[in-house]
Every structure is written in C-alpha cells, then in structure tokens.
Structure 1
Amino acid sequence: MIRILRYTEYLYLAVAVVSIYKIITLWSVAQQETYIFIFFAVVSIAMFLFRRRYRKRFEQRQKDNQQ
C-alpha cells in the first residue's frame, strides 16, 4: 500500500514537469493556452506535497501501531 502511495506522488511530479515544459515552450507562441498548464503545474505540485504528507503520516501511524 505504501509503495502505491509513493508512486502516485511521483506521478504528480511528472505531470508538473510536463506542464512546466509546455509552459516554457508555448509561452511566446500562445500565451492564452499556457494558463491551463500553469493551473496543472500548481495543482500537481500541491497534490504532490499533500500526498507526501499523507503518506508520511500513514507510515508513522503504522509504525506506532506495531510498537
């Protein structure tokens, strides 16, 4: 279960990296289209941080229950 949570964290980071790449490549060509990618990048980074915090709490709770 914890492995799955860790993979989803990095999936959000991958989405953020792709979105940032698209922002950089489209900024000078079509600035209006980049706003959706800015939104995706911000949400992806926020979800990465949220999921990481949730996973660490989950791991700590499991560790405390085993002791």
Structure 2
Amino acid sequence: MSGKKSTKTEGNSGSEPRYTLAELTAHAKERFSVRPEVIAGAMYGAAGELFTVAEVQDQIKHFMKAKVD
C-alpha cells in the first residue's frame, strides 16, 4: 500500500503491520478486489482501531458469505 503506514504495535516486531480502517478502505479495490462499501459492511462493529490485511480479508470473506433474509 502506498502512503503512510500505521506503526506496528509495540512489542510485536515479528507480526504483520496494522493499518487504520480508513487506510484499508482507501485501497479496497487494489488490495481486496472489493468496493470500499464492502469493507465498511464487513468491519461494522469491529473492535479496535488497527487491523492487519489478513484480519480484514477474513472479515470480508465472512461478510460476503452471510445469508440475507
């Protein structure tokens, strides 16, 4: 992702970088092949302010498979 990155959480130097939801949403099409609205829906109510790419991909996968009544 281009632009500024959020800092890694202290003490987890070997883990994936974490980004704000705004940063991830800005790159929705390039990184996740979805529209920004999909990320907004998938991450609605998510706890925390910083997320890894893998966490968001998992949430998108669950969101897209959810049944609609």
Normalising by structure 1, what TM-score? 0.28
Normalising by structure 2, what TM-score? 0.28
Whichever structure has more strand as a proportion of its residues is 2
Which is greater in Rg?
Answer: 1
Larger relative contact order (C-alpha < 8 A, sep ≥ 6)?
1
Whichever structure has more helix as a proportion of its residues is 1
